[in-house]
Amino acid sequence: MTRRAYPSDVDDETYHFLLPYLALSPEHAPQRKYPLRDVLNALLWMSR
């Protein structure tokens, strides 16, 4: 599913900087339902 990009979305440089901190999870963790980038964009949008 593709979605339209919004002006409030995180740019590539910021996302790649934050990715190591977002991707910390145990090996036995279940698969994610939503991509990390979409979750980050949603959290940042909600916090504005």
- Comparing 32 with 43, the larger pLDDT belongs to 43
Is the pLDDT score of 39 beyond 70? yes
pLDDT of residue 27: 76
- Phi first, then psi: what are they for 18, rounded to 5°? -85, -20
Q: Please report which confidence band the pLDDT of residue 1 belongs to, taking 50, 70 and 90 as the band edges.
A: low
Site of tokens 């990715």: 19
Assign 3-class secondary structure to the chain.
CCCCCCCCCCCHHHHHHHHHHHCCCCCCCCCCCCCHHHHHHHHHHHHC
pLDDT tens, residue by residue, 14-33:
999 999 888 887 778 888 88
Query: 29 by DSSP, 3-state: which?
Result: coil
Q: Tell how far CA 4 is from the center of its chain.
A: 15
